[in-house]
Amino acid sequence: MPGQRLKVVVTRRLPEPVETRMKELFDVTLRDPDVAMSREELAQAMREADVLVPTLADKIDAGLIGQAGPRLRLIANYGAGVDHIDVGTARARGILVSNTPGVVTEDTADMAMALILAVTRRIPEGLALMQAGEWSGWSPMAMLGGRIGGRRLGILGMGRIGQAVARRARAFGMQVHYHNRKRLRPEVEAEHEATWWESLDQMVSRIDVLSINCPHTPSTYHLLNARRLKLMKPTAVIVNTSRGEVVDENALTRGLRAGELGGAGLDVYERGAEINPRLRELPNVVLLPHMGSATIEGRIEMGEKVILNIKTFADGHRPPDQVVPGML
């Protein structure tokens, strides 16, 4: 659409530099106040916009796409994951979908390591003790955790984020193991000193910490099910900074409560904000509010990618981060 000032609707507040740049480039409607749009509001936005900028909290299903107006030609997602968007239906309607891959890699890997340390070193328990004013002084046997150096880390999904986790884990002296749909090239394996397991069952039965870094797809739904969780060591720790649907949350809760697992650090949940209440009661579980990518630098970079995708589209070219159905 060269030469046209596109009508862009943004579904949530974004960092000020991003919103300012959007106002300079496009006819943009910004979200104020910063609350999620209702389904009716999303439908209205899709009827009036050339470009919709949703977030992972916006469910853009076939029903909503069916209500889109003739102007809507691009859904420029603010985020890397697009499992909340029916990309196939959008494509069938002639609507392109783009995302922001690669931006959250380092931030999410940082959070994965933070959760590993938080669970194994019992950091939240210590914090709670101090905040309650119940600490009576140092003791040789108080708040004993475990050393992560020398432990086996299993990485489920050795893409950008998985490899970033591997780099950090090696710096902490952990042994890196991984399971992936495809084995990495030998030079990449050598760089991370990583051991590939073709069988996920065999890997999870041998590792001390499992970091989940794979996307949510039909094939990864409940990949960590009750049977597979029972294969893990009773001292093993699970960390999930990827997608909650990969883990059977009820089975995980049962395993933790029964002492069949050593602990868990979770930043994502199977049913979004509806967290299993029994998880909150466990002292060996660290729960975070989906903040793995929450750095100001990362959020601005995400916005810059969204703007680049829209501007490239406006200039009559394919967005650089266009999502192609079947290649998710």
Number of C-beta neighbours around residue 221 at 10 A: 14
3-state secondary structure of 320: coil
Phi, then psi, of 229 in degrees rounded to 5: -65, -35
Q: What 8-state DSSP symbol labels residue 199?
A: -
Q: Are 156 and 220 in contact (CB under 8 A)?
A: no
Q: How high is the pLDDT of residue 4?
A: 67
> One digit per residue, pLDDT tens: the chain, 328 residues?
455 689 999 999 999 999 999 999 999 999 988 999 999 999 999 999 999 999 999 999 999 999 999 999 999 999 988 989 999 999 999 999 999 999 999 999 999 999 999 999 999 999 999 999 999 999 999 999 999 999 999 999 999 999 999 999 999 999 999 999 999 999 999 999 999 999 999 999 999 999 999 988 889 999 999 999 999 999 999 999 999 999 999 999 999 999 999 999 999 999 988 999 999 999 999 999 999 999 999 999 999 999 999 999 999 999 999 998 755 4
Q: Are 226 and 251 in contact (CB under 8 A)?
A: yes
Cis previous bond, 218, omega within 30: no
Q: Are 207 and 177 in contact (CB under 8 A)?
A: yes
The span from the CA of 14 to the CA of 306, in Å, is: 11
One-letter amino acid at 121 equals R
Q: Are 214 and 156 in contact (CB under 8 A)?
A: yes
The span from the CA of 140 to the CA of 51, in Å, is: 61
Q: Are 64 and 88 in contact (CB under 8 A)?
A: no
Residues written for the chain: 328
Please state, in angstroms and as integers, the Cα–Cα distance from residue 63 to each residue in 50, 86, 268, following that order: 18, 9, 26
The span from the CA of 229 to the CA of 152, in Å, is: 17
The span from the CA of 62 to the CA of 39, in Å, is: 12
Q: Are strands 263-266 and 237-240 parallel, antiparallel or unpaired?
A: parallel
| Residues β-bridged to residue 154 | 177, 210
Question: pLDDT tens across 290-305, in order?
Answer: 999 999 999 999 999 9
328's enclosing H/E stretch is none
Q: CA dihedral in degrees (255, 121, 153, 110; nearest 10)?
A: 110
> What are the residue ranges of helices labelled H in the chain?
16-25, 39-48, 62-65, 87-92, 105-120, 123-131, 160-171, 186-192, 200-204, 226-229, 249-257, 277-280, 296-314
The span from the CA of 238 to the CA of 232, in Å, is: 10
Q: What 8-state DSSP symbol labels residue 132?
A: T
Query: What is the residue whose two structure tokens read 């490239």?
Result: 312
Q: Return the exposure string of 49-67: e unless at least 16 CB atoms fall within 10 Å of the residue's CB, then b.
A: bbbbbbbbebebeeebbee
Q: How high is the pLDDT of residue 326?
A: 59
Question: pLDDT tens across 185-225, in order?
Answer: 999 999 999 999 999 999 999 999 999 999 888 899 999 99
| Residues β-bridged to residue 75 | 52, 97
The domains of the chain, with CATH numbers, are: 7-103+295-314 (3.40.50.720), 105-287 (3.40.50.720)
The span from the CA of 97 to the CA of 169, in Å, is: 34
The span from the CA of 161 to the CA of 126, in Å, is: 29
